[in-house]
Amino acid sequence: MSYEFILVDAQVAPFVAKIQLNRPKELNALNLQLMGEIRDALLALDADDAVRAIVITGNERAFAAGADIKQMAGRTAIDMLKIDQFSTWDSIRKTKKPIIAAVSGFALGGGCELCMLCDMIVASETAQFGQPEINIGVMPGAGGTQRLTRAVGKVRAMEMVLTGKFISAEEAKAAGLVNKIVPVELYLDEAIKLASEIAGKSPIAVQMAKESVLKAFDTHLQEGLFFERKNFYMLFATEDQKEGMAAFVEKRKPDFKGQ
């Protein structure tokens, strides 16, 4: 298959493939065609038995600076609904083989969301992550509010999404967004090394393990809250609840019986 905006190497190392975003002048801004090409390449690599792990990368200056603002600027809500660009992202999420993002420079907006769609992130020291959509009058649309929040927690995600501020590779690592930081000349090699390590395992076990970890993201907060609430109410059926609350009111130590 030939592509205009990505470069694909199906064997960058034994059993490891590489997809490189290749719109350097536009900082790899993610236009519809580029995203479609990533989807098509991933489908092909997923079906190729000689591939067991995939690395997605950009270049030193940018992994990707977000969705293509110039392509979106004039669109109406109805255009956006009809184009339904995020169905491409849903297909990418269905890739069975593990995907490692090798990130240097800007990973912003859709660029940050694309690396969060991957399974792991190896970053160069120069990597910067951000969801700056708020600065252009919108908000993240490709999973940023959900995946970033799950990755870095509510208060950090709120700060990034509401102020548009970028975080450094160090901050991203401390927040749990990134697996590893290495000097800029090593980030791609390091990602390929990690992919090679995984490619040495049982490919079926790896795929099932990936699927299972992703399942953890499929439980909705609301469902979790209902579950929590039910358990909280159930505890009012215990003697320990009566004892614990009574002890508090009477300013004494509780004597719990486990009943």
Cβ closest to ligand CAA, residue 113 vs residue 190:
113
Instruction: For the CB of residue 10, give the shortest distance to ligand CAA in the complex, in Å.
Output: 28
Distance in angstroms (rounded) separating the CA atoms of residues 134 and 97: 33
Catalytic residue among 17, 102, 113, 142: 113
Distance in angstroms (rounded) separating the CA atoms of residues 58 and 28: 7
Cβ closest to ligand CAA, residue 20 vs residue 131:
131
Residue 44 known to be catalytic: no
Residue 243 known to be catalytic: no
* CA nearest neighbour of 129 among 214, 207, 63, 225: 63
Contact residues: ligand CAA, CB under 6 A: 26-27, 29, 65-70, 106, 108-110, 113, 132-133, 136, 140-142, 144
Cβ closest to ligand CAA, residue 75 vs residue 154:
75
Catalytic residue among 110, 130, 143, 144: 110
Instruction: For the CB of residue 213, give the shortest distance to ligand CAA in the complex, in Å.
Output: 24
Catalytic residue among 41, 58, 111, 133: 133
Instruction: For the CB of residue 95, give the shortest distance to ligand CAA in the complex, in Å.
Output: 19
Instruction: For the CB of residue 37, give the shortest distance to ligand CAA in the complex, in Å.
Output: 16
Distance in angstroms (rounded) separating the CA atoms of residues 170 and 179: 11
Instruction: For the CB of residue 110, give the shortest distance to ligand CAA in the complex, in Å.
Output: 3
Instruction: For the CB of residue 160, give the shortest distance to ligand CAA in the complex, in Å.
Output: 12
Cβ closest to ligand CAA, residue 150 vs residue 210:
150
Q: DSSP per residue over the chain, as a string?
A: ---SSEEEEEEEETTEEEEEE--GGGTT-B-HHHHHHHHHHHHHHHT-TT--EEEEE--SSEEE--B-HHHHTT--HHHHHHH-THHHHHHHHT--S-EEEEE-SEEETHHHHHHHHSSEEEEETT-EEE-GGGGGT----SSIIIIIHHHH-HHHHHHHHHH---EEHHHHHHHTS-SEEE-GGGHHHHHHHHHHHHHTS-HHHHHHHHHHHHHGGGS-HHHHHHHHHHHHHHGGGSHHHHHHHHHHHTTS-------
Residue 113 known to be catalytic: yes
Cβ closest to ligand CAA, residue 139 vs residue 246:
139
Catalytic residue among 64, 65, 67, 172: 67
Q: Which residues are catalytic?
A: 67, 110, 113, 133
